[in-house]
């Protein structure tokens, strides 16, 4: 029977082969990771949790995160034994016809003896929480009267920041970065032609609005920092498009795109004002 890999359902691929479980109970004293003989006897082994043809990571994420993020997920964060080479080899070592440690369509179909399907649309319709959300909104209105001045101020600041991020996301970030890099290169070129140095022997670009000296090193650092942020912005933009293509409009990457858009527009203003020296 063909197994559709669409984004409207989550599929739990399981190996509950009775012969394998009987063999494991007879030949295995210990199982790798959090597996134990008692549980696999009842439920089998979860090979992978899949949505839209993607083996999911912890938190039911459909991707592992940005290449540049320190929170990027590894194989140990992926659901199911087939995502982990050591776990797969340890569990099936000695069993004839052991599956490969790969989360691929063919491998899952070949290895699984059972697939549990959660239809997300049906669950969403059945357990709609719009009524609860309305009740929470009413409760929230009453709770506002109990908040301190600092809590209200913090909330307003967050709301203001979100507005600025939305506004920044609608600007031409590519052009802003390109113009800023060209301007910084002009600053550096002019400083080299002028040849003026500060007391520490650094070429001077000029002074910022506060009167502090801006050095050639400050200009070079500004280019590097802006390009680093721009690279992250483009990577988050790419992953946001992929997430939206999968039906996830409000996702982590969309929020990061807005945050980095604001960082870059703020940096562009600093460059124009020669206010990038620290």
DSSP 8-state symbol, 214: E
79 pLDDT more than 60: yes
3 pLDDT more than 60: no
Contacts of 33 (CB under 8 A, 6+ apart): 81, 84, 87
State how far the Cα of 129 lies from the Cα of 132, in Å rounded to an integer. Answer: 5
- Average pLDDT over every residue of 258-267: 89
State how far the Cα of 75 lies from the Cα of 58, in Å rounded to an integer. Answer: 10
Residues 105 and 177 in one domain: no
Q: Is residue 4 part of a domain?
A: no
Q: Is residue 180 part of a domain?
A: yes
CA 80 to chain centre: 20
pLDDT given at position 271 = 92
Residues 176 and 235 in one domain: yes
Residues 148 and 97 in one domain: no
* Beta partners for residue 115, in sequence order: 13
pLDDT given at position 234 = 86
Contacts of 78 (CB under 8 A, 6+ apart): 48, 55, 56, 57, 58, 64, 84, 103
Domain encompassing residue 139: 130-167
pTM for this predicted structure: 0.45
Q: Is residue 277 part of a domain?
A: no
144 pLDDT more than 70: no
Specify the range with the lowest mean pLDDT, choosing from 32-36, 93-97, 195-199, 203-207.
Answer: 32-36
Confidence of residue 147 (pLDDT cuts 50, 70, 90): low
Q: Is residue 260 part of a domain?
A: yes
132 pLDDT more than 70: no
Residues 151 and 199 in one domain: no
145 pLDDT more than 60: no
Region label for 171, one of left (φ > 0), alpha (ψ between -120 and 50) or beta (otherwise) = beta
- Average pLDDT over every residue of 108-123: 84
Higher pLDDT: 135 or 180? It is 180
Confidence of residue 164 (pLDDT cuts 50, 70, 90): very low
Token representation of residue 32 = 């790798």
- Average pLDDT over every residue of 206-213: 87
State how far the Cα of 273 lies from the Cα of 265, in Å rounded to an integer. Answer: 13
Confidence of residue 159 (pLDDT cuts 50, 70, 90): low
Specify the range with the lowest mean pLDDT, choosing from 3-12, 70-79, 110-119, 264-273.
Answer: 3-12
Higher pLDDT: 129 or 75? It is 75
Residues 117 and 30 in one domain: yes
Token representation of residue 262 = 């604001």
Residues 30 and 106 in one domain: yes
pLDDT given at position 1 = 42
**Pick from 66, 90, 124: which residue ends a domain?**
124
11 pLDDT more than 70: yes
Q: Is residue 14 part of a domain?
A: yes
Residues 69 and 140 in one domain: no
Predicted confidence (pLDDT) per residue in 19-31, tens digit: 998 998 888 877 8
Q: Where are the alpha helices (DSSP H) in 53-148?
A: 85-92, 105-111, 120-126, 130-144
Residue 272, number of CB atoms within 10 A of its CB: 12
User: What's the chain's average pLDDT?
Assistant: 79
Burial of 138 (0-12, 13-18, 19+ CB in 10 A): exposed
157 pLDDT more than 80: no
Residues 187 and 200 in one domain: yes
Residues 118 and 24 in one domain: yes
Confidence of residue 150 (pLDDT cuts 50, 70, 90): low
Higher pLDDT: 172 or 193? It is 193
State how far the Cα of 57 lies from the Cα of 75, in Å rounded to an integer. Answer: 8
Number of domains in the chain: 3
Q: Where are the alpha helices (DSSP H) in the chain?
A: 18-27, 37-43, 85-92, 105-111, 120-126, 130-144, 149-169, 173-194, 216-245, 252-272
What size, in residues, is the chain? 278
State how far the Cα of 273 lies from the Cα of 275, in Å rounded to an integer. Answer: 5
Nearest Cα to 233, choosing from 54, 60, 68, 43?
68
Residues 223 and 145 in one domain: no
Specify the range with the lowest mean pLDDT, choosing from 83-87, 159-163, 251-255, 262-266.
Answer: 159-163
- Average pLDDT over every residue of 189-202: 87
């Amino acid at each position: 029977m063909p197994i559709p890999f669409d984004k409207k359902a989550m599929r739990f691929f399981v190996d509950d082969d009775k012969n394998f479980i009987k063999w494991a109970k007879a030949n295995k004293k210990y199982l790798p990771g959090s597996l134990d003989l008692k549980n696999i006897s009842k439920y089998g082994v979860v090979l992978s949790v899949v949505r839209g043809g993607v083996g999911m990571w912890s938190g039911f994420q459909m991707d592992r995160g940005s290449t540049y993020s320190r929170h990027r997920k590894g194989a140990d964060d992926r659901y199911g034994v087939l995502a982990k080479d050591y776990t797969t080899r340890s569990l099936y070592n000695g069993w004839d016809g052991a599956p490969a440690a790969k989360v691929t369509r063919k491998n899952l179909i070949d290895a699984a003896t059972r697939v549990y399907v959660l239809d997300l649309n049906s669950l969403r319709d059945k357990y709609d929480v719009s009524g609860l959300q309305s009740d929470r909104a009413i409760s929230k209105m009453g709770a506002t009267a109990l908040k301190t001045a600092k809590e209200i101020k913090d909330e307003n600041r967050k709301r203001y920041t979100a507005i600025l991020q939305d506004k920044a996301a609608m600007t031409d970030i590519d052009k802003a970065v390109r113009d800023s890099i060209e301007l910084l290169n002009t600053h550096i070129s002019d400083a080299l032609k002028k040849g003026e140095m500060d007391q520490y022997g650094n070429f001077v670009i000029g002074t910022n609005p506060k009167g502090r000296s801006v050095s050639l090193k400050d200009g070079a650092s500004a280019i590097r920092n802006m390009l680093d942020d721009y690279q992250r912005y483009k990577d988050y933009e790419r992953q946001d498009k992929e997430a939206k293509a999968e039906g996830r409009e409000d996702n982590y990457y969309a929020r990061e795109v807005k945050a980095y858009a604001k960082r870059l527009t703020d940096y562009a203003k600093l460059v124009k004002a020669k206010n990038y020296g620290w």
